[in-house]
Amino acid sequence: MSSQIFLTGLGLISPLGLDADSFWQNLITNQSGIAPLAKLPTDGLRNANGGEVRGFDWSQYGEDGDCDEASQFAYAAALEAANNAGLTDEQRARAGLVFATNFGGAASWEACCDIAREGDIDAETFAQFLPDHAVHYTANRWNGSGPTATLSNACSSGAHAIGLAADWIRLGRCDICVAGGFDGLGISTLAGLSILRTISPDQIRPFDARRSGTIFGEGAAMVVLESETSMRTRGATPIAQFMGWSVTNNAHHLTAPDKGGAGLALAMKNALKNANIEPAQIDYINAHGTGTQYNDLAETEAIKTVFGAHAQNLAISSIKAATSHLMGAAGSIEAIATALALRDGILPPTLNLEEPDENCDLDYVPQQARARNIEYALSNSSGIGGNNASLILKKV
């Protein structure tokens, strides 16, 4: 088994930038990608704002109609990550691919429903909706021969994909793996999330006393994970070291929160064990921090459970008020933010945190990015169905 694993490439398509560099610059200068939604009707939704990808030009990557918009995001992000890692065509072809999504090709799904209402079916459009279309599309474009998988673990999907990719490298299934999550906004998705009352009628304000819900968005975020041997042989530059991970389930309720945060606490504990480090070694947590009343309190309680007194020393931030909640891509874009925080010694801010909640009483890096060198960082994700994923990265 390979002993050490590194992140050597990053790529993303997001409301806050169409590549990793512009995303990071916007994030650490306290910008937000949340704006009025233009691509969808918003009648009846709790909020007409969202994190929409703007200015993305698929013609730079592929042909019109050859895949769903969500798969386009996934492919473009994966290509940027592969290029950022300096992979050759041969290295890219033998790389593993682990993609993850909540809803697959949401636009294609809605198109299928429209076609069915007219009494017809379109198998090709239906195929573009299925969650595994993006990974197969990418593998085909790259003449891929490596292992592929698609995960669908709700909003912990992107983090889960990175963890599974690391496991594959540890087991020797591949020495390079491109992994992350993607999703596109559809009216079905937003209507469902709206009626579940997870969407804020106001702004997203993670950990703020006035928080009233989250704001959803779309995009894709992919990383290249690589064994140390492969990285050294290629002469690639590491961005961060992957240390460990875990994915758990609250085993409590399909949508209701696990109020004490026990499931997320278990994910963090297991990730620390998997990384073989002590809680006191963690300096920074990139929180799931959705801005819902229950999540932010439960996550705070889970952090206190795992870190005890050290929780007061931790810097914690949620980037969702900047990026919006990218659903299947949330965990992987937050892993990218965590890796860049380690690389640059800059902690991204929790925007819109203006009135502290007495029960959310940790250091959430409010409003402004902060310079701080950190050694170890943890990124949390949770999702509908009660799943939780935690990743641990280290500065190189």
Partner 1 sequence: MTINIIGTGAILPQSGALSIGPIERAAYPLSPKTYLDRASELALCAASLALQNAGLSGPLGADCGLCIGTQFGSVETMRIFEEKLHQSGARGASPLLFSHSYFNAAAALIAIEWGISGHHAPFGGRDSAWQAVEAARDAIELGHAQTMLCGGVEANSTARSWAGENQSGEGALFVVLQRDGDGPTFEEFWQAPHAIEGDWGALGALLARWNPTL
Report how far apart, in Å, the C-alpha atoms of 357 and of each of 7, 262, 291, 361, 364 are: 35, 21, 12, 7, 11
Among positions 354-393, residues that touch partner 1 (CB under 8 A) are 383-387
* In the complex, least distance from residue 285 CB atom to partner 1, rounded to whole angstroms: 21
Question: Does residue number 45 form part of the binding site for partner 1 (CB under 8 A)?
Answer: yes
Report if residue 39 touches partner 1, rule: CB under 8 A. Answer: no
In terms of CB distance, is 380 or 387 closer to partner 1?
387
| Count of residues near partner 1 by CB under 8 A | 63
- Choice from 251, 309, 358, 371 touching partner 1 (CB under 8 A): 251
> Binding pattern to partner 1, positions 312-351, x when CB under 8 A?
----------------------------------------
What is the contact mask toward partner 1 in residues 148 to 187, using x (rule: CB under 8 A)?
A: -xxxxxx-----x---x--x--xx---------------x
Considering only 47, 246, 324, 350, the residue that binds partner 1 (CB under 8 A) is: 246
Nearer to partner 1, 91 or 227 (CB): 227
Site string for partner 1, 182-201 (x = CB under 8 A): -----xx-xxxxxxxx----
Active site residue 288: yes
The smaller minimum CB distance to partner 1, of residues 121 and 396, is found at 121
CB of 43 to partner 1, least distance (A): 6
- 10 Å CB burial of residue 170 (0-12, 13-18, 19+) is middle
Asked if 48 interacts with partner 1 (CB under 8 A), we say no
Q: Which of residues 266-295 bind partner 1 (CB under 8 A)?
A: 266, 270, 274
Nearer to partner 1, 264 or 353 (CB): 264
Q: Is 155 designated active site?
A: yes
> What residues line the site for partner 1 (CB under 8 A)?
43-45, 101-102, 104, 109-110, 112-113, 116-117, 121-123, 126-127, 130-132, 135-136, 149-154, 160, 164, 167, 170-171, 187-188, 190-197, 246-255, 262-263, 266, 270, 274, 383-387
Question: Which residues are the active-site residues?
Answer: 155, 288, 325
